[in-house]
Structure 1
Amino acid sequence: MARPGTPDGLLRLPAERSSFVGRRAELAEVRRLLSAARLGTLVGPGGVGKTRLALRAAADLRRSFPGGVALADLAPVSDPSSVVERVAAALDVRDVSASWLPARVAEVVGDRQVLLVVDNCEQVRDATAVLVDTLLAACPRLSVLATSRVPLDVDGEALLAVPPLPVPPPGAPSTPDDAVHLLVQRATAAVPGLALTPSDAQVLADVCRRLDGLPLAVELAAVRLRTLSPAELAARLDDRFALLARSGTAAAERHRTLRATVQWSADLLAPAERVLWRRASVFAAGFDLAAAEVVCADEALPASAVLAALDRLAEASLLVGSRAGGGRRFRMLETVRAYGRELLAASGEEAAVRRRHRDWCAGVVSAAAAELAGPAQVAALDAVDAVHAEVGEALQGALGAPGEEEVGLALAADLWLYWAARGHLGEGRRHLAALLAACPRPTAVRARGLLAAGYVELTATDPDAAVPLLEQARELGAVTGPARVPALATQFLGQAALFRGDLGAADRLLREAAAVLGTADPRHEAFCRADVGVTALLAGDLSAAAEAFERALALGADPWTRSHALWGLGLVRLAAGTPHEAAGLEHAALQLMRDVDDRSGTALCVEALAWVAAAEQDWERVARLAGAADGVWRSIPAALPAPLGGRREECARAARRALGERRWAALHGEGADLSRAAAVALALGDRAPVPPPRTEADPLTPRQREVAALVAQGMTDREIASHLVISPRTAESHVEQILARLGFHSRAEIAAWTAARGSAGH
């Protein structure tokens, strides 16, 4: 039996009032934490479930602490001097009249094996830290499990960042993730007789995703199902702070509403930290320190103060940090961001912050656009990918700010190749259409916007929508400049004629454009020459087609151009009756398209390799690749250009005759069900590429020669990336481009070629 004034055998934990959902991994981690350290702190944002996790873990561990397990809840405490009184009361230390209280607590605990749970420490962190440090030093067998929105920063502290509950990935609502399990369980408890049908599953999964799997938010949402259907609940989540509240007074004030939970965090911050919170909420997804210094700093928050404020927000669990390349990126949970945006809207500085955000996006995109027609194309596209969500936010902001629409249109126009290459055609169409409607004045920016809109429509294989836009771009661009705008519009009109099967008009327009681009923008001439090759190929002039594709390879430094030229040259070899050579060229093209993440180009290559398989009478491979190509086209979404449809149908008919309709349908379906990555893997198979032709005396760009020299030194792709300060993926892309250009199969051949050129004095 416990003696008065001692913690012997205490189990002072509240009984659970509802079932505990999930957290198996976290419970195991708490056990591991307390086996390795005497102070473990669970940190995380408000409402993430730190208290429930700590209490369940403590209950599970009670047999390991024969001296007792006790809870000291500090949530009601605002006076630091009261911390020790709460801890003393939790440990049932009553005889304190004649001694200093911390010493009396330490004396009572003594050398007993006790687990003390100290909950909600953040608002009295310093006082808690001092007391915990004192008790751990004086009580050798005491362990402390704390919960806090910020670490205690005590020597020997082991941290566990408590994440939100797992949510189903988009498109997989039936996955039994913990967040959905919690929502359904709490809803059925709150609403007796509630009937949730299978058709509600996707809506409930979406609710959990939008609430980031935050347990408090999910539980508050569940209560709303008393009066709202799942669809109605989802429709009202944009106003989550008004929606997510519980009635009654039994719950702690900070947990009665979602707003109170977030406000509790805000009250713990210094003014500079609150400023950064509201300004950083303008980022739609993530950001790094450099972006925060550009977008969030001004006279009120100097750039030199951003790092300290950022560190404090991360410490307070209001930002989630992750490694990205050589640095760190930060993001907010959607609930934290939503509250920050409320603060931003009320601050009077929203317009200025959004302008800085838009200008920062424009700077990133402009720098990338300058590299899109060069050897650094993949890295440039990756740079835009990294800020994709921010670009969408900036474009929407420009539409909503009178006088800013033209700046938004210039930004969208810079993205013309990105929209196409990375498969964001629907998004590009929407933004460009809205911004063009908002910018009717005949300016150079409008000409660029019309050009971009026309190209996006063309990439979506809709020449009827593309042609009017491109004709306007050519006409306006001839007046406003620069010269490359009407030249590119002429090239794309040639592509539209090609799509419509008018080969004569296509050849005339494309050659006209190539002649102008040779002077106005030589970097874009190469791609135009590849289009000339496609026209000649469809006209049956294989010699002219080969000449045009080889010219494109000689001129083109960017993977996009080279991949399409290799694709076309592969079709020339196929038409000439050498399918093995064609396969090698198509493989080389597909590898480059994979690096660029060119989705329409990927579909073209998978189609071409199906035709190669047909020439080799590998009918099962034809069926699978045909299905895989259809799947890639659907994912964009786009379709095979009409002039190529005849070849597709010819191959499909031959495969159907050879396989029978049932076998064809089964194999075609297998291919159609593949992801894009799996479709590429199927298309590449295990065949060794046949070398593409060498088309120039020195076929490598300066950057590629630099990479080749490092390959010759024996460096791996990762070592090359580190040496040149580029991403490993970009280094790998450079090496694959070198192999394709030189017609080699191995790095050893690159090394030998480099050595030979060095000895020859090149």
Structure 2
Amino acid sequence: MAGHSLDRMCGLPAERSSFVGRRAELAEARRLLSGSRLVTLVGPGGVGKTRLAVRTGTDLRRAFAHGVTLADLTAVSDPARVVEHVARAFDVRDVSGRWLPATVAEVIGSRQVLLVLDNCEHLRDACAVLVDTLLASCADLRVLTTSRVPLDVDGEAVLWVPPLGVPPRDRPPGAAPGTPRPPSEAVQLLVQRATAAVPGLVLAPADDAALADVCRRLDGLPLAIELAAVRLRTLTPAELADRLDDRFGLLRRSGTAVPERHRTLQATMEWSAELLTEPDRVLWRRAAVFAGDFDLSAAESVCADGTLPPRAVLDALSRLVEASLLEAAPGPHGRRFRMLETVRAYGRELLDAAGESRPARIRHVDWCAGLVASASADFAGPGQVAAFDRLGAVHAELGAALDLCLVVPDERERGLEMAADLWLYWAARGHLGEGRRRLHDLLAACGDRSSVRARGLVTAGFLALAATDPATAVPLLDRARELGEACGQSSVVAMATQYLGQAALFGGDLATADRLLREAASRHAELDERYEAFCWADVGVVALLAGRTADAAEAFGRSLSLAERGDPWTRSHALWGLGLVRLTTGDPDEAARLERSALGLMREVDDRSGTALCIEALSWAAAARRAWDLAARLSGAAEAVWRSIPAELPAPMAPRRDDCTTAARRALGDRRWAALHRAGAALDRTGAVALALDEPQAPSAPATGAGPSPLTPRQLEVAGLVAEGLTDRQIAARLVISPRTAESHVEQILARLGVRSRAEIAAWTAARLAAAG
């Protein structure tokens, strides 16, 4: 796995504004990470822990061969979902039913990765358990966390993040009157943000004292300073300082027992709220119900009513952005808006104080339920992928809505209906564990008399089956079928029968599987032929495993015919199966054509196990055509995809792969086969698919032919050690050079090859060896 990079990790976000100060903290964070595998940045809300963590990760990207990835836990409220969020950051999907921390650890393996885990304080215990598990299993993983309290994990190094430095009230000893002082970090931030917010703003030396006073009054808290900076649009620095003096004096007289720094931040929040118009304050508190970012349409649906008409929402959003209470960023379908967590927390306090929390949250549930119902209607049609994408973009919102439904008795049945409507999304986008927990909790809360119980049961059974847990799935599906028949819910009966057939297939009872799947197909035919199509694909798999090639061909062909205007997932599986039929009947060229068609659809759907199955089949087709080099490369590429899931080739398919490998080894010789296999295994999932589809590699990929090398002999030697997975220090020891010299060699190799990671160096080396024979 040394040459295999984690595919599609969540990288670090681009900085939207300049980074001010923090040189000492940056240096200390880097130093601590060099000696400790877990470093936690600790400090109060608004102090800038996230910005410091992201900048640290950005500065250290070249030190981690397999990248730096960010998992932001801001929108996660349930400790049980911490691991799911981290898994998504690593692009690991919950599709196997295994213990998810073990799956994440297996995918990370021995790779050199830095995980930045942001906003851990409200999930401290869950974060601590997960981090401890990953560090124990992944020797080259390092973790940088941000939290208001340490995680208290063995080996944790803690770095307290203080507010930015503020100017002293008195002149330095021995300084002459009028001697200018270098600006403090806090003043630098205030000036930079003010000049960015107010084009043409000119700050004179006479303003220095007022600016310094503002920063002192705000205790150097970056968030408070950024919120105050925008007020220089309408206030002079002196007026700003005077207003803060009055405001903070009033707060201090209140006698509150919270720490000074928190009182100051609260004061800034209250002051910001008072400077807004009433519609802006209404939008702020109502938009705080969103768990993550949102767009204009969502704000109009959730936040508008008779008090705040939909037509007023856009202007209010614009003013909140101008006031730095919202961040606006381009999204795939227009602008999206995001609140900092401290701003959201205060907005929710305002919502509670206004007595609007319940109605705002119910409107949020209404909005989510509408999105789910609309998307689920497309699950069996050509808009399937777009439907998954729409739901994925609001995953945090769906979780928040289902959380509310569970605790509000009047909303529980609607929550169960939403969770059932999400049936295919839970499985297709790697949320099996979450989906199963949601269904379990909502089924328990709704009781036996729920009108949607049968749908909930069949979905729970489907998810258990998808998680390879037939012992749990079969009783759920039996009960769903029984209840569906009693209630006249024909679609539930058809679904339950179909999945009971799949359970029999997984258990090796091919006769029962064939009977149940054909019955399900007949039931679906009376309701919706698009669902009938997938049943016939499963019938084809049963026939193929039973050795009934003609029956398999007929079933897969029928599935394709029914799915002509249906969803790409069904079509991809039918094409894959038909490709195997053609390979079995001695037509490897047609088999390869069908498998490439299937793979293109698998990529569209992002079906990762299906992707691996198609690449395996293309390797077998290449071997059948005696294209031995391609067969060996594709065999390695398939292995890389399986590892990235992680999963394995289903046992019934293993003999065919073994036959292919044996034939290719005999034709190529062990050395050349191993080199070509390594070259394929060094690819990430994107590269593996490109190889299988005979598509050009990414433009940044270096040439890998056996001709003249762009590297010197010494650099070639270092590249070979990188391909073995050695660190700079290990390379230095092997070559008897200094670690800094080894690091310099690696940097030069990256530059000469035009690549960005050690994994790409390894892939280049393996491919060059393969080309050399």
Superposition TM-score, scaled by structure 1 size: 0.59
- 2:508 counterpart (492, 501, 515): 501
Q: CA deviation at 1:619?
A: 4.3
Query: 1:254: which partner in 2?
Result: 218
Residue deviations 1:222-269 (CA, integer Å, cap 9, x gap): 9xx9xx99989636399xxx9986899954223445525555533432
Distance 1:233 1:389, change over 3 A: closer
Distance of 2:304 and 2:602 partners within structure 1 = 40
Cα contact 2:50–2:146 (8 A) shared by 1:
no
The letter for the 2-side match of 1:186 is: E
Cα contact 2:556–2:574 (8 A) shared by 1:
yes
Distance 1:487 1:301, change over 3 A: same
- 1:540 counterpart (547, 572, 578): 547
Equivalent residue of 2:430, what SS? coil
Query: 1:615: which partner in 2?
Result: 624
Residue deviations 1:106-162 (CA, integer Å, cap 9, x gap): xxxxxxxxxxxxxxxxxxxxxxxxxxxxxxxxxxxxxxxxxxxxxxxxxxxxxxxxx
Q: CA deviation at 1:517?
A: 0.9
Query: 1:234: which partner in 2?
Result: 147
Distance of 1:502 and 1:509 partners within structure 2 = 11
Distance of 1:200 and 1:576 partners within structure 2 = 55
Distance of 1:212 and 1:362 partners within structure 2 = 35
Q: CA deviation at 1:486?
A: 1.6
Superposition TM-score, scaled by structure 2 size: 0.58
Query: 2:195: which partner in 1?
Result: none
Cα contact 1:361–1:394 (8 A) shared by 2:
yes
Q: CA deviation at 1:516?
A: 1.0
Cα contact 1:217–1:244 (8 A) shared by 2:
no
Distance 1:384 1:248, change over 3 A: closer
The letter for the 1-side match of 2:394 is: V
Distance 1:625 1:545, change over 3 A: same
- 1:643 counterpart (652, 656, 667): 652
Distance of 1:618 and 1:206 partners within structure 2 = 60
Equivalent residue of 1:364, what SS? helix
The letter for the 2-side match of 1:562 is: R
What are the residue-to-residue correspondences of 1:739-754 with 2, within 5 Å?
A: none
Distance of 1:243 and 1:397 partners within structure 2 = 35
Equivalent residue of 1:328, what SS? strand
Equivalent residue of 2:36, what SS? helix
Query: 2:312: which partner in 1?
Result: 305
Distance of 2:649 and 2:469 partners within structure 1 = 11
Equivalent residue of 1:321, what SS? strand
Q: CA deviation at 1:645?
A: 3.5
Tell me if 1:568 matches 2:577.
yes
Q: CA deviation at 1:359?
A: 1.5
Deviation larger for 435-444 or 589-598 = 435-444
Distance 1:182 1:256, change over 3 A: closer
Equivalent residue of 2:337, what SS? strand
Deviation larger for 359-368 or 462-471 = 462-471
Distance 1:209 1:577, change over 3 A: farther
Query: 1:406: which partner in 2?
Result: 413
Query: 2:450: which partner in 1?
Result: 443
Equivalent residue of 1:317, what SS? coil
Distance of 2:296 and 2:360 partners within structure 1 = 16
Equivalent residue of 2:402, what SS? helix
Query: 2:337: which partner in 1?
Result: 330
Distance 1:187 1:593, change over 3 A: closer
What are the residue-to-residue correspondences of 1:57-136 with 2, within 5 Å?
A: none
Distance 1:288 1:562, change over 3 A: same
Residue deviations 1:319-364 (CA, integer Å, cap 9, x gap): 2323445643222234433333343344432222222112211101
Distance of 1:461 and 1:210 partners within structure 2 = 46
Distance 1:233 1:548, change over 3 A: closer
Equivalent residue of 1:381, what SS? helix
- 2:383 counterpart (376, 379, 384): 376
Q: CA deviation at 1:217?
A: 12
Distance of 1:209 and 1:256 partners within structure 2 = 10
Q: What is the percentage of aligned positions where both structures have the same residue?
A: 56
What are the residue-to-residue correspondences of 1:194-343 with 2, within 5 Å?
A: 195=32, 197-200=34-37, 203=40, 213-214=50-51, 234=147, 236=149, 251-257=215-221, 259-260=265-266, 261-324=268-331, 327-343=334-350
Q: CA deviation at 1:584?
A: 0.5
Aligned residue-pair number: 510
- 1:185 counterpart (5, 18, 24): 24
Q: CA deviation at 1:504?
A: 1.0
Cα contact 2:47–2:163 (8 A) shared by 1:
no
Cα contact 1:179–1:208 (8 A) shared by 2:
no
Equivalent residue of 2:289, what SS? coil
Equivalent residue of 1:300, what SS? coil
Q: CA deviation at 1:441?
A: 2.1
Query: 1:150: which partner in 2?
Result: none
Query: 1:72: which partner in 2?
Result: none
Cα contact 1:288–1:329 (8 A) shared by 2:
yes
Query: 1:480: which partner in 2?
Result: 487
Equivalent residue of 1:283, what SS? coil
Deviation larger for 614-623 or 466-475 = 614-623
Q: CA deviation at 1:569?
A: 0.8
Distance 1:369 1:207, change over 3 A: farther
Distance of 2:610 and 2:444 partners within structure 1 = 30
What are the residue-to-residue correspondences of 1:578-727 with 2, within 5 Å?
A: 578-636=587-645, 638-655=647-664, 668=677, 670-686=679-695
Q: CA deviation at 1:631?
A: 4.1
Residue deviations 1:352-399 (CA, integer Å, cap 9, x gap): 222211221110110111122123323322322332232222223323
Q: CA deviation at 1:587?
A: 0.9
Distance 1:187 1:305, change over 3 A: same
Distance 1:248 1:184, change over 3 A: closer
Q: CA deviation at 1:578?
A: 0.8
Distance of 2:345 and 2:473 partners within structure 1 = 39
What are the residue-to-residue correspondences of 1:450-465 with 2, within 5 Å?
A: 450-465=457-472
Distance 1:214 1:187, change over 3 A: closer
Q: CA deviation at 1:623?
A: 4.3
Distance 1:514 1:196, change over 3 A: closer
The letter for the 2-side match of 1:526 is: A
Cα contact 2:385–2:604 (8 A) shared by 1:
yes
Equivalent residue of 1:520, what SS? coil
Equivalent residue of 2:147, what SS? helix
Cα contact 2:41–2:146 (8 A) shared by 1:
no
Q: CA deviation at 1:526?
A: 0.9
Query: 2:496: which partner in 1?
Result: 489
Q: CA deviation at 1:491?
A: 0.9
Say which structure, 1 or 2, has more relative contact order (CA 8 Å, 6+ apart).
2
The letter for the 1-side match of 2:24 is: Q
Distance 1:664 1:180, change over 3 A: farther
- What residue ranges of structure 2 are gaps of 5+ in the alignment? 1-7, 57-116, 129-142, 152-159, 169-214, 224-264, 697-773
Tell me if 1:361 matches 2:368.
yes
The letter for the 1-side match of 2:398 is: V
Distance of 2:552 and 2:485 partners within structure 1 = 30
Distance 1:528 1:202, change over 3 A: farther
Cα contact 1:499–1:643 (8 A) shared by 2:
no
Cα contact 1:607–1:648 (8 A) shared by 2:
yes
Distance 1:481 1:669, change over 3 A: farther
Q: CA deviation at 1:604?
A: 2.5
Equivalent residue of 1:330, what SS? strand
Cα contact 1:211–1:217 (8 A) shared by 2:
no
Tell me if 1:385 matches 2:389.
no
Cα contact 2:304–2:313 (8 A) shared by 1:
yes
Equivalent residue of 1:372, what SS? coil
Cα contact 2:282–2:308 (8 A) shared by 1:
yes
Distance 1:196 1:373, change over 3 A: closer
Distance of 1:542 and 1:207 partners within structure 2 = 66
